[in-house]
Amino acid sequence: MRICITGNLGYIGPCVIQHLRAANPDATLVGIDTGYFAGCLLDPLHYPESVPDVQYYADVRTLPEEMFAGVDAVVHLAALSNDPLGSRFAEATGEINHLATVEVAKKARQAGVRSFVFASSCSVYGLAGTMARTEESEVNPLTAYAKSKVHAEIDLAELATDDFVVTCLRFATACGASPRLRLDLVINDFVASAVAVGQIRILSDGTPWRPLIAVRDMARAIEWAALHRTAGEGGACLVLNAGSDSWNWQVRDLAAAVAEAIPGTQISINSDAPPDSRSYRVDFGLFRSLAPGFQPQSTLMGTIAELKLVLERAKFSDTNFRQSRLVRLHVLSSLTEDGLLDVGKPGPIRYPLTATDSQSRGAALDPQEVLSVPARA
Ligand SMILES: NC(=O)c1ccc[n+]([C@@H]2O[C@H](COP(=O)([O-])OP(=O)(O)OC[C@H]3O[C@@H](n4cnc5c(N)ncnc54)[C@H](O)[C@@H]3O)[C@@H](O)[C@H]2O)c1
């Protein structure tokens, strides 16, 4: 079995690859990523790319169809992956998250891939009140990021057949430890803040709802969708909320849980904040009924404890972490401002060796070039 995972050098990707390796020791795992965040490891001694068999440093906007020859399943994670990035890089967000997703799926289908998993997002529901949203609920995408996910879902539905089964997993907000930890996610931010500063500042009044899912539980859902689901379970194209009902949390409860796990943490709430436009609850009943063996297993306190552990092991103490390599907007903005990256131009990131290389890199390197590095014998 050969499985392609795009966007594998991000936050969720390394956990998905680890999970798929454990679930299928003999599968050939192929990673495809521009490497925008390749250097953003929490602990440089823990290098996750020893797990895939092959790593391509390539852009999903310009992949050759041959990339998918002999591939059984594609897990498509590659994206500009949050609202702040969508707002700063709106055009590229549409090109990568929507248009390139559809092109990747077309090439995969043409090459005979059987199963295509798209990492969509519960943020498609936007401001949705306290009624839990089901897959039948109207979507209300408020941001470029959420809109890109809705547009991709719509176009992917057109491509699905019984021989090319498409699953759009509308994931809740991710949380938990990963070799490429992100601190721009609510629980991860709270734990980092508690560890480094001893304080959590809630920017809202604390009442907004956030459905969460632990990264390791995302990997379980992806395994089900990529390797086990057939068109008989949910149809050739299935759009599915991925998470669990008991993980719809109010932000103030999340802060309280972190403070309980890390004694001495102070919580401040902004009671004058305007209403948060991203408050929503989600119903995960369909996921429960279709994939009973692949339901989330993590606990909130266990997830917080693991985050605290990995941060402490990495001797994390950065009080200014929102301006660090662990925050996506900061990373892509810095690379852009330093002239090292133009997300509007397809191609893998190239780190220059010297300042002179930096000036000449545009001329010297072919952005369409695809490099492959055999990662495992
Ligand atoms: N993190 C969450 O809370 C969350 C929730 C719901 C859905 N998702 C979705 O899951 C997927 C993975 O999320 P993540 O948190 O790991 O994001 P991430 O930003 O950490 O990783 C995304 C990866 O995609 C790569 N990438 C971006 N543009 C690319 C391109 N043009 N070609 C090839 N690779 C490219 C980046 O280099 C990065 O390694 C995304 O599609 C995201 O929208 C994430």
| pLDDT at residue 39 tops 70 | yes
| pLDDT at residue 266 tops 90 | yes
Alpha carbon of 171 to ligand 1 centroid (Å):
12
| pLDDT at residue 357 tops 50 | no
More confident residue, 207 or 118: 118
Distance CA 366, CA 58 (A): 11
Tokens (6 digits) for 351: 């780190």
Tokens (6 digits) for 38: 């390749």
Alpha carbon of 342 to ligand 1 centroid (Å):
17
Distance CA 159, CA 237 (A): 8
Strand ranges, E, within 206-301: 209-214, 237-242, 248-250, 266-269
40 lines ligand 1 (CB under 6 A): no
174 lines ligand 1 (CB under 6 A): yes
What residues pair up with 371 in beta bridges, in sequence order? 57
The model's pTM: 0.93
Domain 2-179+211-248+280-297 has CATH 3.30.70.260: no
Tokens (6 digits) for 278: 């991203």
5 lines ligand 1 (CB under 6 A): no
Q: Phi then psi for 197, rounded to 5 degrees? A: -115, -20
Query: What are 44-96's pLDDT values in tens digits?
Result: 877 888 889 999 999 999 999 999 999 999 999 999 999 999 999 999 999 99
- Give pLDDT, residue 352: 62
Alpha carbon of 265 to ligand 1 centroid (Å):
31
Strand ranges, E, within the chain: 2-6, 28-33, 54-57, 73-76, 115-121, 165-171, 173-175, 199-202, 209-214, 237-242, 248-250, 266-269, 371-374
CA dihedral 354, 355, 357, 362 (to 10 degrees): 140
Query: What are 74-87's pLDDT values in tens digits?
Result: 999 999 999 999 99
Q: Phi then psi for 55, rounded to 5 degrees? A: -120, 120
| CB-facing half-sphere around the CA of 10: CA atoms within 13 A | 24
| Band of residue 277 on the pLDDT scale cut at 50, 70, 90 | low
Q: pLDDT averaged over the chain?
A: 91
Contact 164, 116 (CB under 8 A): yes
